[in-house]
Amino acid sequence: MPSLMWMLSTVDRCAKLYQDDHLSDTDLKPHHCRYLFSVCRDPGLSQDQLAKRVVADKSQVARAVAYLEEHGYVTRSTGADKRVLLVSPTEKAIEELPRLRKIFRTWNEWLMEEFSPEEQEQFLHLMERARERAVRYTEIEGKDLPGKETEA
């Protein structure tokens, strides 16, 4: 049986190539989009909340947010707790959002074009279940994986 991880990785890599092609006239890379989607959906997220939302470590988030701030897509400000950085979209990000959504929507439509409506619904349902389980792994540090030794 083919490796699920390999198949998912291949689809992800091809999606990033597609996104790169369609973002070539901007200073955005595919990985920046998930940050922009989250920040535009919930302006004022802390960097820690953003890290959980996009399932990335804090240093990756800090680098991505610094890049987006440098290029005018987000602003950072301190919250009530001065140690917490809040991230908000700029007008530039909000204006770019419909285009980004279209890029992602068009890829999704193209990828599933040969699926029947029932297959599309089932595929999306199963992928959401897999995504939820994968995220659960990050929350419990993989303690329920077969073959991982547990402390008695």
Residue 18, domain CATH: 1.10.10.10
Inside any domain, residue 10: yes
The whole-number pLDDT of residue 119 equals 97
Question: Which residue, among 100, 46, 106, has the nearest Cα to 76 in the 3D structure?
Answer: 46
Strand partners, 76: 87
Inside any domain, residue 142: no
Rounded CA gap, 4 and 13, in Å? 14
Rounded CA gap, 57 and 140, in Å? 15
Inside any domain, residue 102: yes
Helices (H), the chain: 4-22, 30-41, 47-54, 58-70, 91-111, 117-140
The whole-number pLDDT of residue 140 equals 79
Query: pLDDT (tens digit, 0 to 9) for every residue of the chain, 152 residues total?
Result: 679 999 999 999 999 999 999 999 999 999 999 999 999 999 999 999 999 999 999 999 999 999 999 999 999 998 788 888 899 999 999 999 999 999 999 999 999 999 999 999 999 999 999 999 998 888 876 566 666 555 44
Residue 7 has which token pair?
Answer: 């198949």
The whole-number pLDDT of residue 152 equals 44
Q: How many domains does the chain have?
A: 1
Which domain does 63 fall in, by range? 4-111
